[in-house]
């Protein structure tokens, strides 16, 4: 009566599945997800005693005690390495005389900075008797190495912890590895965002793209324009992000080496903005009189650009990242077309009846505002599709199309010399029955026609969790471990990770690690974890 | 960038959605899910003060204080009616002199019995100034009425509780309204099962079909055959249901008027049984020698039937329900075919090469075992498809086929005089993007060709949550509120609930109630609830 519909992929049969259970029972020393660029391990293993285990700074390290990012990470990773230590279980039954020390050395004291697009995440990790040596150029690289170390440690059935002799050299394939959360279609309580940031670090994601406002609601509480959330949020007190909430998110993300990229999408997707800011949206007309409804942002009024300049000035002071996402997608022209003042403006500007020119005019103005604020703009691919004159350093965000068509877009945009960010194959809010993580895993981001120079313009990829059907009730199991499949594609060497069937038991193993860390990650297929989710 | 793929149904546009928000802001007095058979309400409303609110037994009631089912229900529903009372919020700011009493009267003292297939769930509820009168034939009907009453109470923005003057006459359309959980493909911790039972009562489901064992694991700890779980469970200590766990489930379900229908599926789907019971499964052959693998239960050995008789004797002593589900689906003949002893038995019995006859022979024996135990058998439709001589009172469980084809099966099985249970259109583990609850809602279970007598043989329907991709991490958001759509189809008058668009805001409202009660029910579409899920 239970039927597995056959689809594009083959399901492992039960015999294979049971074999995998057996394999998971034994410890796999290559159990690091995403797979490091280079890893050598030996069967030689060392017991770890939580009472004689230390993270320390190497004597040559540029960062020393007092480095906020690493001090906090040491505390965090101690609990991740010894998940049942605090419960008093598992550490009294054996005694190890020699302590084990993880010595962390970084080349630069960037403890108080924010991770950015140029931050190195490279690290080397050498685990031997009594110590591990973790070396990185930056604290962000050290965080990646700590995550890897924590995944190398395993617990035997009797409760003892071990780590094997291991050598790792590692760095990410792509600089930008993001996750988008949409807090407008549904409000996500702060805890849901923080939990996601925590889980992101486990898969080495490094950008949180915060699609913070959109048509349905405006939860960002602006200092300059408090009416935007007071009138545009689902609820002015319970469904907003205060300035302090936003600071909390940015600080929590920084501690995990994660950038926070805010998006204030315009001129479309702005219905909620109109509630708290009069004259911002275009009045739509029905015949010769206003219909009472509103369309996209009104691009013909000087007041619009004054408002946007003020808003983005605030945004750039609140969000430290050098990127700001400006949206620019899915602009519906029908309201603009209906409005006589807009049509008159089109004539005056010589745009004729080509509304893409009006849209380009608007985006150009907005991009210039962020240029003046010394920020790099990211815009959705639509802006490239209708606009020939965007500044070269604007990043184009590819979201449209089937697997067949985003390659063509990658080719065209990089040919024009723009950097691109790929989201199209990772619209993870689109669910289907079965192991769709395989589709996310087998994406080949650089498999498009273009020169080596063009391929270098692909800065990375992004997993998008749009909020039509997602809120805090289902976010976590929908995101994990499916997003982790994309994480390995974006971090690891493609040649070493080309076999999706080989990835399957590793990802199952990693998913059990996520459960152990309290992340409500859904199962990939039939089976079990030693520690099941107990959070109901 | 966020794209809603257009599918078989139309999505409400945003204007409509916002209109619905407005509607939800006002209180809808018909906010009972599933919709009662008859409900009349007036704008006249009465404030409820938790400090002067009582459930009592009517003086004529056959059940009085000390009735376990109702005593516990009164306590439970007090918290559901006043969700923030325990936190001390919302009850000191107003004072009502007159108390409000819900007087419950039942016609029979069945407080210590179990709900069964003949239990009446009919009730009448009359809410007027200062009191509500709830009358039912049985305590099970009273439970349904208490659920309805709890959904009639609403809280205004200032925190006060109200209930409107209301008259309700109600009874279920179908006697059997079940949910299947699969605890073999993934183990579900006890708490996940109890939480599901709780939520089932909110949607007036009344049967928990416990698909407790299957190929991957055997978590039921048998008193008679402890090796079945000791060797066949994912883990012999952490991934099992002890006798005490099972008792807990049955008792918890009883308190909510829910029957527990156990399934021990055979002869297929029994791989895990073979680990703890040697000689039970058929040895498969490769050429002239055993291959080392095993197939379905071995139907040719007397020891098989002795084992089954003993096991089912235990099962019938543990599970009080008069139904036992025997499975009988998806038997693969290849192993039987390979085995020379099985082939010799076929010759001896005159079955020729028709293995469906062997399967029928097996099922006949198993059904006779349960007949001897005074139990009604349910089997999957496969048993009807290959077997002409099953006892008339065996219930057939329909699981196969697209919407087009289950109607034909309903027609054929009822024509043969068997009762049927419909699961095919409610395989809720099959997920897809968008509002698939609409498909569950628009099922017409009696829309097949047949006489009135045939239609009466449809005892109800079942929502199946198979466990290939489901465990405690994603069970709840996947089940709710999607299963609630089926619940209304099975309880309410079809003519009054034929408009899926009218159901949409009601189901949104009900889903917010589920959140308020701590059920992690996922959203139906863009929007918000006053009290969001905070459980991350």
Residues 6+ apart with CB under 8 A from A482: A428, A436, A437, A440, A522
Q: What does the radius of gyration of chain B's CA atoms come to, in whole angstroms?
A: 25
What pLDDT shows up at residue B487? 98
| ipTM for this model | 0.92
pLDDT tier for residue B499 given thresholds of 50, 70 and 90? very high
Yes or no, beta carbons of A528 and B217 under 8 Å apart: yes
Residue B211: what are its φ and ψ, rounded to 5°?
-80, 85
Chain B positions touching A185 (Cβ under 8 A) are: 2, 526
What pLDDT shows up at residue B245? 98
What pLDDT shows up at residue B8? 33
Mean pLDDT lowest among A240-254, B84-98, B142-156, B463-477: B84-98
pLDDT tier for residue A401 given thresholds of 50, 70 and 90? confident
What pLDDT shows up at residue B236? 98
Residues 6+ apart with CB under 8 A from A137: A106, A107, A108, A120, A122
Catalytic-labelled residue, pool A44, A72, A156, A330:
A330
- pLDDT, tens only, B143-186: 999 999 999 999 998 889 999 999 999 999 999 999 999 999 99
What pLDDT shows up at residue A124? 98
Number of A to B CB contacts under 8 A, please give it.
197
What would the DSSP string read from start to end of B289-336? EEEEEEEEE-TT-HHHHHHHHHHHHHHHHH---SEEEEE------HHH
What pLDDT shows up at residue A486? 98
Mean pLDDT of chain A: 92
Q: Is residue B16 scored above 70 in pLDDT?
A: no
Over residues B390-394, mean pLDDT = 89
What pLDDT shows up at residue A534? 83
Shortest CA gap A525–chain B (Å): 5
Residues 244-273 of A with CB under 8 A from B: 265, 271
Residue A436: what are its φ and ψ, rounded to 5°?
-70, -10
pLDDT tier for residue A16 given thresholds of 50, 70 and 90? very low
pTM over 0.90: yes
What pLDDT shows up at residue A391? 87
Burial of A344 (0-12, 13-18, 19+ CB in 10 A): exposed
Q: Is residue A454 scored above 70 in pLDDT?
A: yes
Mean pLDDT lowest among A192-206, B91-105, B306-320, B501-515: B91-105
By the CB < 8 Å criterion, does B129 face chain A? no
Q: Is residue B197 scored above 80 in pLDDT?
A: yes
By the CB < 8 Å criterion, does A534 face chain B? yes
Could you tell me the CA-to-CA distances from A467 to A214, A239, A342, A408 in Å, in that order? 10, 15, 32, 28
Shortest CA gap B127–chain A (Å): 32
Yes or no, beta carbons of B534 and A189 under 8 Å apart: yes
The residue that leads in pLDDT, B22 or B174, is: B174
Three-state secondary structure call for residue B379: strand
What pLDDT shows up at residue B2? 55
Shortest CA gap A306–chain B (Å): 26
Yes or no, beta carbons of B234 and A527 under 8 Å apart: yes
**What is the Cα–Cα distance from B460 to B175, expressed in whole angstroms?**
6
What pLDDT shows up at residue B30? 55
Question: Measured between alpha carbons, how far apart are the two ends of chain B, in Å?
Answer: 27
Over residues B455-462, mean pLDDT = 98
Over pLDDT 70: what percentage of chain B?
91
Chain B positions touching A1 (Cβ under 8 A) are: 265, 327, 329-330, 380, 397, 399, 423, 464, 466
Chain B positions touching A235 (Cβ under 8 A) are: 528, 530
Q: Is residue B3 scored above 60 in pLDDT?
A: no
Residues 6+ apart with CB under 8 A from A73: A142, A143, A146, A255
How many residues does the structure list for chain B? 536
**What is the Cα–Cα distance from B80 to B327, expressed in whole angstroms?**
37
What pLDDT shows up at residue B390? 85
Residues 31-90 of A with CB under 8 A from B: none
Q: Is residue A97 scored above 70 in pLDDT?
A: no
Shortest CA gap B124–chain A (Å): 34
**What is the Cα–Cα distance from A384 to B525, expressed in whole angstroms?**
31
H-state helical runs in B203-242:
227-232
- pLDDT, tens only, B218-248: 999 999 999 999 999 999 999 999 999 999 9
Q: Is residue B361 scored above 50 in pLDDT?
A: yes
Mean pLDDT lowest among A98-102, A400-404, B90-94, B139-143: B90-94
What pLDDT shows up at residue A84? 85
**What is the Cα–Cα distance from B132 to B130, expressed in whole angstroms?**
7
User: In what helix (H) or strand (E) does residue B81 lie, and over which residues does it extend?
Assistant: helix B68-81
Return the DSSP state at A400.
Answer: -
What pLDDT shows up at residue B98? 83
Q: Is residue B251 scored above 80 in pLDDT?
A: yes
Residue in chain A closest to B195 (alpha carbons) equals A536
Helix A302-318 and helix A243-255: axis angle, to 10°?
Answer: 50
Chain A positions touching B187 (Cβ under 8 A) are: 528, 532
By the CB < 8 Å criterion, does B3 face chain A? yes
pLDDT tier for residue A7 given thresholds of 50, 70 and 90? very low
Yes or no, beta carbons of B1 and A380 under 8 Å apart: yes
Cα A73–chain centre separation: 19
Q: Which of A14, A234, A466 sits opposite B528 (nearest CB)?
A: A234
pLDDT tier for residue A2 given thresholds of 50, 70 and 90? low
Yes or no, beta carbons of B526 and A432 under 8 Å apart: no
Yes or no, beta carbons of B535 and A380 under 8 Å apart: no
Q: What CATH number does the domain located at B38-170 have?
A: 3.30.379.10
Three-state secondary structure call for residue A319: coil
By the CB < 8 Å criterion, does B293 face chain A? yes
- pLDDT, tens only, A169-190: 999 999 999 999 999 999 999 9
Residue in chain A closest to B511 (alpha carbons) equals A473
Chain A positions touching B271 (Cβ under 8 A) are: 14
Residues 306-345 of B with CB under 8 A from A: 327, 329-330
**What is the Cα–Cα distance from A48 to B411, expressed in whole angstroms?**
66
What pLDDT shows up at residue B25? 39
By the CB < 8 Å criterion, does A158 face chain B? no
Structural contact between residues B174 and B459, judged by C-beta atoms closer than 8 angstroms: yes
Q: Is residue A227 scored above 50 in pLDDT?
A: yes
By the CB < 8 Å criterion, does A532 face chain B? yes
Mean pLDDT lowest among A207-216, A436-445, B19-28, B132-141: B19-28
Q: Is residue B21 scored above 80 in pLDDT?
A: no
Structural contact between residues A106 and A125, judged by C-beta atoms closer than 8 angstroms: no
- pLDDT, tens only, A129-164: 999 999 999 999 999 999 999 999 999 988 899 999
Structural contact between residues A163 and A127, judged by C-beta atoms closer than 8 angstroms: yes
Chain B positions touching A229 (Cβ under 8 A) are: none
Return the DSSP state at A523.
Answer: P
Q: Is residue B272 scored above 70 in pLDDT?
A: yes
Annotate B142-175 with three-state secondary structure.
HHHHHHHHHHHCEECCCCCEEEEEEEEEECCCCC
User: Any catalytic annotation for residue B409?
Assistant: no
**What is the Cα–Cα distance from B461 to B425, expressed in whole angstroms?**
9
Q: Which of A14, A380, A472 sits opposite B533 (nearest CB)?
A: A472
Shortest CA gap B431–chain A (Å): 5
């Amino acid at each position: 009566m239970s039927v597995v519909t056959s689809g594009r992929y083959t399901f492992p049969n039960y015999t294979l599945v049971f074999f995998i259970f057996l394999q998971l029972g034994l410890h796999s020393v290559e159990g690091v997800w995403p797979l490091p660029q280079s890893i050598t391990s030996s069967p030689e293993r060392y017991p770890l005693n939580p009472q004689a285990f230390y993270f320390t700074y190497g004597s040559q390290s540029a960062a020393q005690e007092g480095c906020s990012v690493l001090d906090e990470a040491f505390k965090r990773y101690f609990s991740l390495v010894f998940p049942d230590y605090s419960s008093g279980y598992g550490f009294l039954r054996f005694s190890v005389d020699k302590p084990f020390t993880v010595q962390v050395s970084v080349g630069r004291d960037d403890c108080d900075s924010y991770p950015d697009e140029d931050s190195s995440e490279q690290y080397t990790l050498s685990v031997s008797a009594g110590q591990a040596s973790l070396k990185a150029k930056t604290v962000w690289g050290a965080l990646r190495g700590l995550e890897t170390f924590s995944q190398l440690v395993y617990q035997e059935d009797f409760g003892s912890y071990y780590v094997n002799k291991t050598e790792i050299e590692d760095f990410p394939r792509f600089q930008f590895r993001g996750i988008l959360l949409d807090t407008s279609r549904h409000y996500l309580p702060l805890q849901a965002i923080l939990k996601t940031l925590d889980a992101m670090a486990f898969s080495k994601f490094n950008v949180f793209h915060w699609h913070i406002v959109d048509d349905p609601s405006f939860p960002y509480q602006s200092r300059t324009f408090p009416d935007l959330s007071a009138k545009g949020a689902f609820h002015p007190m319970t469904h907003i992000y205060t300035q302090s909430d936003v600071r909390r998110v940015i600080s929590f993300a920084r501690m995990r080496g994660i950038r926070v990229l805010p998006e204030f999408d315009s001129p479309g997707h702005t219905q909620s903005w109109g509630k708290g800011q009069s004259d911002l949206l275009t009045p739509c007309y029905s015949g010769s009189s206003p219909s009472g409804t509103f369309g996209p942002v009104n691009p013909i009024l000087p007041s619009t650009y004054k408002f946007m300049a003020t808003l983005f000035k605030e945004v750039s002071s609140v969000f430290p990242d050098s990127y700001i996402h400006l949206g620019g997608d899915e602009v519906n022209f029908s309201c603009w077309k209906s409005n006589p003042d807009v049509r008159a403006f089109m004539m005056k500007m010589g745009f004729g009846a080509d509304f893409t020119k009006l849209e380009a005019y608007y985006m150009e103005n907005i991009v210039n505002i962020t240029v003046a604020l010394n920020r790099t703009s990211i815009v959705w691919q639509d802006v490239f599709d209708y606009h020939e004159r965007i500044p070269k350093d604007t990043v184009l965000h590819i979201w449209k199309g089937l697997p067949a068509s985003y390659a063509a877009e990658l080719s065209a945009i990089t040919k024009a010399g723009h950097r691109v960010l790929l989201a199209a194959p990772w619209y993870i809010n689109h669910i289907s029955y079965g192991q769709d993580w395989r589709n996310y895993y087998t994406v080949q981001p650089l498999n498009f026609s273009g020169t080596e120079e063009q391929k270098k313009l692909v800065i990375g990829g992004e997993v998008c969790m749009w909020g039509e059907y997602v809120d805090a009730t289902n976010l976590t199991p929908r995101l994990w471990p499916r997003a982790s499949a994309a994480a390995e594609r974006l971090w690891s060497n493609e040649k070493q990770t080309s076999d999706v069937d080989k990835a399957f038991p590793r990802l199952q193993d990693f998913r059990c690690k996520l459960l152990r860390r309290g992340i409500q990650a859904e199962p990939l297929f039939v089976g079990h974890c030693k520690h099941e989710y107990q959070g109901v």
